[in-house]
A and B are shown apart, each in its own frame.
Chain A
Amino acid sequence: KQEVTQIPAALSVPEGENLVLNCSFTDSAIYNLQWFRQDPGKGLTSLLLIQSSQREQTSGRLNASLDKSSGRSTLYIAASQPGDSATYLCAVSSGNTPLVFGKGTRLSVIA
């Protein structure tokens, strides 16, 4: 059974810092991995999707990498801003199971 773990659970950084969020998964036979953003009390916004054959994806200040063999992904946020404050969720699709999510990393960027 696929399990997804995100570390750290919470992170607080000053504005302007670069930061890395981590995601690990137990079954490396994945179809794809997605990073989502969730604002308090809101739904999910897809940030980046990495197919199993890809190593990384970039969107603006965000870069997601995938190392399928080791069961790891990272989300790199450059030059963080207060507006980046949110919970970031990692989710993988594998086998016959739709997306399995981690619990997320709650990010606070302090002005």
Chain B
Amino acid sequence: DAMVIQNPRYQVTQFGKPVTLSCSQTLNHNVMYWYQQKSSQAPKLLFHYYDKDFNNEADTPDNFQSRRPNTSFCFLDIRSPGLGDAAMYLCATSRELRGGWSGANVLTFGAGSRLTVL
């Protein structure tokens, strides 16, 4: 089945130790997103890739970076995790028409990666 797969499902790291979370998709969607969801909070968009174009939300900390080496994969790098970065990280994909953003298409989410910072 076509899907969005996130690894690892659970990640424990120490304060300040870099972490990489991965997301892969078999949907051939051209847009990939990373959301951060803290306990009892709404998922918050960190950034998204529209094809190869990186779009960072204005309030996303510099501590968070992303890479998209090809259509299928997208990585979230947290350079120096702090206690406040403990959260569920959700990857999503969608297919947007060439030529611009329509926002009309459905996002498909992965199961999430839960990050614990000690």
Contacts and interface: CB of A to CB of B under 8 A. Distances in A.
A4 interface: yes
Contacts of B40: 103-104
B81 interface: no
Interface residues of A, number: 27
Interface residues of B, number: 26
A101 B111 contact: no
Interface string A43-65: 11110010100000000000000
Contacts of A104: 40, 42
B43 interface: yes
A49 B109 CA distance: 14
Interface string B89-118: 010101000000111101111111010000
B109 A44 contact: yes
B80 to A, nearest CB: 25
B114 to A, nearest CB: 6
A41 B40 CA distance: 11
A46 B108 contact: yes
14 contacts: A31-B103, A32-B106, A41-B114, A43-B110, A43-B112, A44-B112, A45-B109, A46-B107, A96-B103, A98-B45, A98-B48, A98-B103, A101-B42, A101-B44
